[in-house]
Amino acid sequence: MSFEEDVLKDFITEAKENLERLDEEFVELEQRPEDKELLSSIFRTIHTIKGTAGFFGFKTLEAIAHFAEDILSKLRDGLVVADEETIDMLLKSVDYIKAIIAALEETGKEPIDDTYLEFLVDLRNFADKVARRAEGGAEAPKPPQEAKAEEPAKPSPEEAKTEEEAKTEEEAKTEEPVKSEEPEPEEPKKEAEAKVPAPKKELEKKEKTTPKLDKTPHVQLTETHVRVDVRLLDQLMNLAGELVLSRNRLVQIASKLNDSELQNATQNLSLVTTELQEKIMKTRMQPIGNVFNKFPRIVRDLARSTGKKVTLRIEGADTELDRSIIDAIKDPLTHLVRNSIDHGIEDPDIRVQVGKPPAGTLILRAYHEGGQVVIEIEDDGRGIDVEKVKKKAIEKGLITPAEAEKLSDREALALIFRPGFSTAEKVTNISGRGVGMDVVKTNVEKLGGSIDIQSVLGAGTTVRLKIPLTLAIIPALVVTCNSQRYAIPQVSLRELVGLSEETRKNIHQIGSSEFFRLRGEMVPIIRLSKILGVEPSSQENAKEESLVILTSGAMDFGLVVDEIWDSEEIVVKPLGKHFKDLSIFAGATIMGDGKMALILDVVGISRKIGLKTEDVDRAKEAMATEAFAEDEQQFILLFNVASEEQFAIPLALVARLDKISADKLEFVGGKEIIQYRGRSMPIIRLENFLPIQPLPEQDEYHLLVFAEGENEVAFLVSRIVDSIQTKIDLDEKLYQIEGVLGSAIIKDRTTLFLDVYKIIEMHDPYFFVKVIPQEDRPYRILLAEDSPFFRQMIANYLASSGYEVETAVDGQDAWEKLQKDSYDVLITDIEMPRMTGIELAKQVRSDERFADLPIMALTSLASDEDKRRGLEAGIDEYQVKLERSQVLEALANLLKRKAEAQAA
């Protein structure tokens, strides 16, 4: 490489770095148009480009830089203020400079294209305009300027440069001969070529006039930084990886030999190796700010062209990532930011209408989490309309309407990542570039990352990318299958489930597929041995099996492995071309002991699962019913009155737990009360209503406060034992006492389950608001509930509110009772043996006799999905069992609606 080529390369690299910074600085300038420091910095950068361009004889480049510098000098000297128009023009100049630099890098020559000349003319005219404005604006305070402005013959750009006055004179002289030599018609070009001799002089000038501050950083830069080929760094890192492995082996051997001298030596080697590896890793790390800092400009341009107002906030710009990843995420990020501005953030007037500030906020955020970098693109725009997404997906033929019905919100949002999907109602020049979110997803996955989208309609969207820190070393979970080890990239890992006898109950065989019920979700599972086509683990080994819950972004699934080995940082090595058809492996790695392990490709495996749609549907159906079985788990509050007896009530019924000292208790008008929160609250001593040991004298008591509208009452107890989550298996026969629902063994003690509503009613029959009976008789309710605990409790609170309640032990029983008697309303549990609530509702609805019978379903936790299924079956209301007041209110409404319907 010749000296000149070398220098050119340096120039290009430096120019590229400077231009990056310029983008940012210009946008900043718009906010602080009078910032002298900023202006000087920009001026210097442009000036350097101009000077070097002149040195190499790049005339177009030099000319553009020259006029830009002209405009900047006026700004810097405070003769004109940077308005949007000016900054636009300057940014355009930067764009042209960038384009030329790019061409130089590729071909070593300036591009020959008329657009550059056209722009040059525009820029020159604009510079003239600015110069004229400067003359006008600078009249009073700058007399020397004024004097100069009166000389009309001189080319204006130079005029305002007071410091370069003398030089301008010189230039004007040298201009003539050059011009005659180059008889080209384009004026700007002539102008540009005419400037050839100028830069060096200007440079000299600058050296004299600009403060030393200008020069020092340059000197430092060249002396302390060396440019290194990235491939060399890659090789270094591979070698460091190998060194680590060799070191590990050596350490193992040393520990066996038990030679202290050898151990000291290996320990030392160990430390140095670790540090070496870290340092080499560091050479490849760059702050994500290198990508982020491109966005102020992109966002500004996009906002301008869409007529929107967007404030960009960048957080965590110093988060470091491997260089190769930084390069690779640039495009996906740009796409996501475009999407946010184009589709997410609303027009200012619309934002104002919905009560948001006119300027939308876009946040680019990066942070480390669990060995990965999380990048979030968050906007406070209109959010994604899930229904619209579904509609679009149906239109595009991606899913059928029936499938759309069954999709959860998360699944529906994931449709955006399907190939051939675009939510924009109109294709704009910004987002409608044919690059869909599917490409973004593919690119992110290629990096071993994942993408996730969350959106609240009307409030905004957050897209979250999880990216490994480096492509070469990734944290992985090592598992075994058929005595071979396999590595699973941590980025895909959701959680681990040990397969004990207990957890195996959550595995359900549906059709040909297996599913695992994980907190109300049906996750398809598959055996790794089946994917690999190897022998499954034998019966006794199966006890060690674990379930690894993985996410491929679009779907979660479980992988049954023989054993969880360890979690380890692994060096990813590619597999040979003979394995290119194997989508289930992402590569291989060498473990600490020198053995190899294949790295599983989670996305590839997810495609291999080959789920049948009907099985998935059935799984969801099964989940809907299964979920209710889990419902029967309740949070129970355990407490003592006298220490030898344990009592329980559902925690959900308690409004508050509190403590009071004994001296707060008062006995007024035959009632025991306390002053509580500024009011008198009646106190219930349970021994007054139940045949139990009395409450011992204590300095301090616990209060269990119950509330019904305005009314409050409290149980006085001696001790709160615990609150636990348990399935209530109630024995009703042992204690047939009013106020006691039954007994159960909890924590090795016989525990009485109290009927809170009954006891309160015994204490104060007017505590609960009663419904006004219908004409001559109370409303009749048929309650179907298989759990005796809930059956009694619900029946009691309904009865205490003035309803007449008939109970049935399951759906079948209820159906039979419906034949014999007439009821005003049917209240049913969902999960029941023989006939579920859903089946009961369907059967009731299919019979004309019960067309008007309102049906209310009671569950412990109703999700939207359950509600939808219930509504389909003909259920009118969904309520939560323990939410007494809401159940009663909904019941009253149902009856009112029915009465109105009948009246009409």
Partner 1 sequence: MGLPTPEKQEKSIVTEKTRLFITFWLADFLFALPVEEVVEINRSLDITPVPQAPPYVSGIINLRGQILTAIDLAKRIGLKREREAHHNVIVGREEEPLSLLVEQIGDVLEIPVSQIEEPPEVIEGLDTDFVKNVSKLPDRLLVILDPEKLFKV
* Binding residue for partner 1, selected from 187, 242, 738, 864, defined by CB under 8 A: 242
Contact indicator for 465, 450 with CB cutoff of 8 Å: yes
Contact indicator for 653, 706 with CB cutoff of 8 Å: yes
Contact status: 236 vs partner 1 (CB under 8 A)? no
Q: How far is the CB of 496 from partner 1 (least distance, A)?
A: 22
Q: CA separation (Å) from 654 to 630, 681, 711, 713, 796?
A: 22, 15, 13, 10, 17
Please say which residue, 596 or 734, places its beta carbon nearer to partner 1. 596
Q: CA separation (Å) from 137 to 35, 79, 82, 140, 155?
A: 18, 6, 13, 8, 19
Contact stretch for partner 1 (CB under 8 A) within 112-120, 460-468, 569-577, 771-779:
569-577
* Burial profile 148-157: b = 16 or more Cβ within 10 angstroms, e = fewer: bbeeeeebbb
Please say which residue, 405 or 535, places its beta carbon nearer to partner 1. 535
Please say which residue, 484 or 885, places its beta carbon nearer to partner 1. 484
Contact status: 578 vs partner 1 (CB under 8 A)? yes
Closest CA to 829 of 790, 867, 864: 790
* Binding residue for partner 1, selected from 55, 421, 579, 850, defined by CB under 8 A: 579
Please say which residue, 242 or 816, places its beta carbon nearer to partner 1. 242
* Binding residue for partner 1, selected from 575, 799, 809, 892, defined by CB under 8 A: 575
Question: Tokens 């907190």, residue?
Answer: 519
Give the angle subtended at the CA of 515 by the CAs of 511 and 516, to the nearest 5°.
Answer: 155
Contact status: 585 vs partner 1 (CB under 8 A)? yes
Please say which residue, 238 or 293, places its beta carbon nearer to partner 1. 238
Please say which residue, 62 or 601, places its beta carbon nearer to partner 1. 601
How many residues touch partner 1 under the rule CB under 8 A: the total is: 26
Contact stretch for partner 1 (CB under 8 A) within 135-143, 590-598, 755-763, 842-850:
590-598
* Binding residue for partner 1, selected from 594, 694, 696, 765, defined by CB under 8 A: 594
3-class SS letters over 204-246: HHHHHHCCHHHCHHHHHHHHHCCCCCHHHHHHHHHHHHHHHHH
Closest CA to 254 of 244, 269, 242: 269
Residues in the chain: 904
In this structure, the strands spanning 546-551 and 556-561 are: antiparallel
Q: How far is the CB of 604 from partner 1 (least distance, A)?
A: 11
C-alpha torsion sign, points 541, 547, 552, 554:
positive
Please say which residue, 245 or 478, places its beta carbon nearer to partner 1. 245
Contact indicator for 15, 31 with CB cutoff of 8 Å: no
Q: How far is the CB of 584 from partner 1 (least distance, A)?
A: 6
Contact status: 603 vs partner 1 (CB under 8 A)? no
Contact status: 245 vs partner 1 (CB under 8 A)? yes
* Burial profile 354-375: b = 16 or more Cβ within 10 angstroms, e = fewer: eebeeebbbbbbbeeeebbbbb
Q: How far is the CB of 566 from partner 1 (least distance, A)?
A: 17
Q: CA separation (Å) from 625 to 215, 265, 525, 589, 634?
A: 75, 64, 20, 44, 17
Contact stretch for partner 1 (CB under 8 A) within 171-179, 493-501, 527-535, 560-568:
527-535
* Binding residue for partner 1, selected from 157, 241, 296, 837, defined by CB under 8 A: 241
Contact status: 559 vs partner 1 (CB under 8 A)? no
Element holding 564 (H helix, E strand)? strand 563-571
Contact status: 532 vs partner 1 (CB under 8 A)? yes
Please say which residue, 457 or 590, places its beta carbon nearer to partner 1. 590
What burial class does residue 9 get, using C-beta atoms within 10 Å of its C-beta: 0-12 exposed, 13-18 middle, 19+ buried?
Answer: middle
* Binding residue for partner 1, selected from 40, 174, 210, 238, defined by CB under 8 A: 238
Q: CA separation (Å) from 483 to 526, 545, 561?
A: 18, 12, 11
Please say which residue, 598 or 624, places its beta carbon nearer to partner 1. 598
Task: Compute the 3-state secondary structure of the chain and give helix, strand, coil in percent, each to the nearest 5.
Answer: 50, 25, 30
Contact indicator for 781, 805 with CB cutoff of 8 Å: yes
Contact status: 867 vs partner 1 (CB under 8 A)? no
Contact status: 598 vs partner 1 (CB under 8 A)? yes
Residue spans of alpha helices (H) in 108-137:
114-137
Q: How far is the CB of 394 from partner 1 (least distance, A)?
A: 36
Contact status: 484 vs partner 1 (CB under 8 A)? yes
Contact indicator for 506, 412 with CB cutoff of 8 Å: no
Please say which residue, 272 or 582, places its beta carbon nearer to partner 1. 582
- 451: β partners: 465
Q: How far is the CB of 579 from partner 1 (least distance, A)?
A: 6
Q: Which of residues 422-461 bind partner 1 (CB under 8 A)?
A: none
458: left (phi over 0), alpha (psi -120 to 50) or beta: left
d(CA 508, CA 546): 16
Please say which residue, 410 or 607, places its beta carbon nearer to partner 1. 607
* Burial profile 468-500: b = 16 or more Cβ within 10 angstroms, e = fewer: bbbbbbbbbbbbbbeeebbbbbbbbbeeebebe
Contact status: 99 vs partner 1 (CB under 8 A)? no
Contact stretch for partner 1 (CB under 8 A) within 510-518, 531-539, 709-717, 832-840:
531-539
How many Cα atoms occupy the beta-carbon half-sphere of 135 within 13 Å?
16
* Binding residue for partner 1, selected from 121, 250, 398, 534, defined by CB under 8 A: 534
Q: How far is the CB of 577 from partner 1 (least distance, A)?
A: 5
Contact status: 737 vs partner 1 (CB under 8 A)? no
Tell how far CA 874 is from the center of its chain: 37
Contact status: 582 vs partner 1 (CB under 8 A)? yes
d(CA 602, CA 559): 10
Contact stretch for partner 1 (CB under 8 A) within 80-88, 133-141, 588-596, 625-633:
588-596
Please say which residue, 534 or 871, places its beta carbon nearer to partner 1. 534
* Binding residue for partner 1, selected from 596, 655, 734, 745, defined by CB under 8 A: 596
Q: How far is the CB of 486 from partner 1 (least distance, A)?
A: 10
Based on C-alpha coordinates, what's the Rg of the chain?
Answer: 38
Q: How far is the CB of 601 from partner 1 (least distance, A)?
A: 12
> What is residue 429's DSSP assignment?
T
Contact status: 595 vs partner 1 (CB under 8 A)? yes
Q: How far is the CB of 279 from partner 1 (least distance, A)?
A: 19
* Binding residue for partner 1, selected from 133, 573, 664, 719, defined by CB under 8 A: 573
> What is residue 536's DSSP assignment?
P
Contact status: 250 vs partner 1 (CB under 8 A)? no
Contact status: 588 vs partner 1 (CB under 8 A)? yes
Contact status: 567 vs partner 1 (CB under 8 A)? no
d(CA 500, CA 497): 9
Q: How far is the CB of 15 from partner 1 (least distance, A)?
A: 38
Contact status: 555 vs partner 1 (CB under 8 A)? no
Q: How far is the CB of 576 from partner 1 (least distance, A)?
A: 4
Q: How far is the CB of 623 from partner 1 (least distance, A)?
A: 32
Contact stretch for partner 1 (CB under 8 A) within 93-101, 237-245, 352-360, 665-673:
237-245
Q: How far is the CB of 332 from partner 1 (least distance, A)?
A: 29
Contact stretch for partner 1 (CB under 8 A) within 79-87, 240-248, 283-291, 780-788:
240-248
Q: List all residues 6 or more positions away from 828 whose beta carbon is below 8 Å from its beta carbon.
A: 783, 784, 785, 811, 814, 837, 840, 841, 855, 856, 857, 858, 875
Residue numbers at the binding site for partner 1 (CB under 8 A): 238, 241-242, 245, 484, 532-534, 573-580, 582, 584-585, 588, 590, 594-598
